[in-house]
Amino acid sequence: MTKRTYSISELSEEFGITPRTLRYYEDEALIAPKREGQARIYSTSDRARLIWILRGKRVGFSITDIREVLNMHYGEGGKEEQCRVTITACKNRIKNLEQQKKDIDETLEELSSLVDTMTIFMAENYPADNSL
Amino acid sequence: MTKRTYSISELSEEFGITPRTLRYYEDEALIAPKREGQARIYSTSDRARLIWILRGKRVGFSITDIREVLNMHYGEGGKEEQCRVTITACKNRIKNLEQQKKDIDETLEELSSLVDTMTIFMAENYPADNSL
DNA sequence: GTTGACCTTTACGTAAAGGTCAACTATGAA
DNA sequence: TTCATAGTTGACCTTTACGTAAAGGTCAAC
C-alpha cells in the first residue's frame, strides 16, 4: 500500500506551485488533506487530485469547473436525476474540449506557417545563419 | 474586392460578444477600426483579426499574448534580431499548444470513461431508460 | 534559550477581462 | 419638432486566482 504522505512544501515544490496555491485550493474545497496538529498532510490520493486540478487548469478549466468534475468522480452515484445531470455536464465539457482541439490545430497551422515565412525571409536577407 | 464593412453591433452580434468587448479590444490595441465621424467602421480585415482574437481566447491566450501574435503577423519583418525573437516566441507557443493538446486528450479520456461508468450504472439501477 | 526552518491563520492587494451605468451625440423617420 | 435608434466616452464595479505581508505556533539543533 502506498502510505506515502507529503508536506505542503514537498507537494508545492514537486509541481512548481506555491503553498499559498495549495491552501487556496483547500479553501475552494478542491482538496482536503488530513491534519497533524495544524499542519496539512497530503496523501497519494490528494496528490492525484492535485494532478487533475493542474491539468484542468492547463486546459482552461476554472476552479469551479474543476470542483464540479472532481465531485462527479466521487459524487453520489445515487440519485437518478443527479446522475443524468452529471452525464450531461460531462458531455458538454467533452464537446467544448473537442472544439478547443480544433482551435488549437488551426492556431498551430497559422503559427507554423508564420514561422516558415519568417525563416525563409531570414534565409534570404540574413544568410549568415547559424541554424539554431 | 470585399469592401464590406461592419458596424460595432453587427460584429458583436455575429460573434456573440458585446460592443463593450470590441471597444475594450480597441483600447488594448488589438483592433483599430476606421472611423466615420465618431462611429467605428470595421473592415473585413478587422473582422479577420477579431476571428483570430476570439480563437486565441478559446485556446487560452491572454489579451497580451494575442496582441503579440497579431503584431508578429504585421510586425516589421525588418530587423534581424526582431525576427529571431519572433520565431522563438512562435516556437514556444507551438510547444505549449502541443502540450495542451495532450492535456486535452487525457482529460477527454477520463471524462469519457466517467460517462461510460455512469451510463452503465444508470442502465443497471434505473433501467427505464428513454435513451436520450 | 535562541536561531532557523517550516508551518499556521487572517486579511488586504492585484491584474485581467470585461459588465454596467450615466450622460452625450448624431441621424433618420413620423 | 420630437422621438427612436445606434453610437460614443468615461467612470466605477465585479470575478477569478492567487500574491503578499503581518503575526505567530512548533520543533530540532546548536
Predicted confidence at residue A132, as pLDDT, reads 47
Residue of A55, A107, A115 with shortest CB distance to B59 = A107
Q: Answer yes or no: is B26 within a domain.
A: yes
pLDDT band at B131 (very low <50, low <70, confident <90, very high): low
Tell me the average pLDDT across B65-88.
Answer: 82
Show which of A16, A37, A61 is a domain's final residue. Answer: A61
Question: Which residues of chain A have a CB within 8 Å of the CB of B73?
Answer: 114
**Do residue A9 and residue A55 come from a single domain?**
yes
**Do residue A46 and residue A102 come from a single domain?**
no
Q: Answer yes or no: is A1 within a domain.
A: yes
**Do residue A49 and residue A80 come from a single domain?**
no
**Do residue A41 and residue A9 come from a single domain?**
yes
For chain A, percent of residues with pLDDT exceeding 70: 91
Q: Do B103 and A59 touch (CB under 8 A)?
A: yes
Q: Could you report the per-residue pLDDT of A34-79, keeping only the tens digit for each?
A: 999 999 999 999 999 999 999 999 999 999 999 999 988 876 666 7
Is strand D less than 7 A from the beta carbon of B18? no
Q: Answer yes or no: is A99 within a domain.
A: yes
- Give the A:B interface size as CB pairs under 8 Å: 98
Compute the nearest-CA separation of A54 from chain B (Å): 10
Q: Answer yes or no: is B48 within a domain.
A: yes
| Residue A14 neighbours by CB distance under 10 Å | 11
Q: Answer yes or no: is B97 within a domain.
A: yes
Predicted confidence at residue A75, as pLDDT, reads 67
- Domain span including residue A30: 1-61
Q: Could you report the per-residue pLDDT of A6-20, keeping only the tens digit for each?
A: 999 999 999 999 999
**Do residue A55 and residue A11 come from a single domain?**
yes
Integer Cα distance of B8 and B43 in angstroms: 11
Whether the CB-CB separation of B58 and A100 falls below 8 Å is answered with: yes
pLDDT band at A3 (very low <50, low <70, confident <90, very high): low
| Residue A1 neighbours by CB distance under 10 Å | 4
**Do residue A82 and residue A118 come from a single domain?**
yes
| Residue B63 neighbours by CB distance under 10 Å | 16
Q: Is B49 on the interface with A (CB under 8 A)?
A: no
Q: Could you report the per-residue pLDDT of B86-103, keeping only the tens digit for each?
A: 899 899 999 999 999 999
Tell me the average pLDDT across A80-102.
Answer: 92
Q: Answer yes or no: is A68 within a domain.
A: no
Predicted confidence at residue A79, as pLDDT, reads 77
**Do residue A38 and residue A83 come from a single domain?**
no
Distance from residue A38's CA to nucleotide C6's C1', rounded to whole Å: 12
Q: Fill in the amino acid letter for A56.
A: G
Q: Answer yes or no: is A45 within a domain.
A: yes
Compute the nearest-CA separation of A38 from chain B (Å): 34
Q: Which nt is closest to the CA of A13, judged by C1'? A: C6
Instruction: Say yes or no to pLDDT of B11 above 60.
Output: yes
For chain B, percent of residues with pLDDT exceeding 90: 67
Q: Answer yes or no: is B94 within a domain.
A: yes
b (16+ CB within 10 A) / e for B9-43: eebbeeeebeeebbeebeeeebbebeeeeeebebb
Overall number of domains in chain A: 2
A131: nearest CA in chain B? B84
Q: Do A87 and B119 touch (CB under 8 A)?
A: yes
pLDDT band at B75 (very low <50, low <70, confident <90, very high): low
Of the candidates A63, A78, A43, A33, the residue with the CA atom closest to the CA atom of residue B121: A78
**Do residue A80 and residue A57 come from a single domain?**
no
Q: In this structure, what CATH number is given to the domain that contains residue A29?
A: 1.10.1660.10
Predicted confidence at residue A1, as pLDDT, reads 54
Q: Is B120 on the interface with A (CB under 8 A)?
A: no
Tell me the average pLDDT across B63-70.
Answer: 92
**Do residue A50 and residue A2 come from a single domain?**
yes
* Grid cell listed for A105: 490545430
Instruction: Say yes or no to pLDDT of B65 above 70.
Output: yes
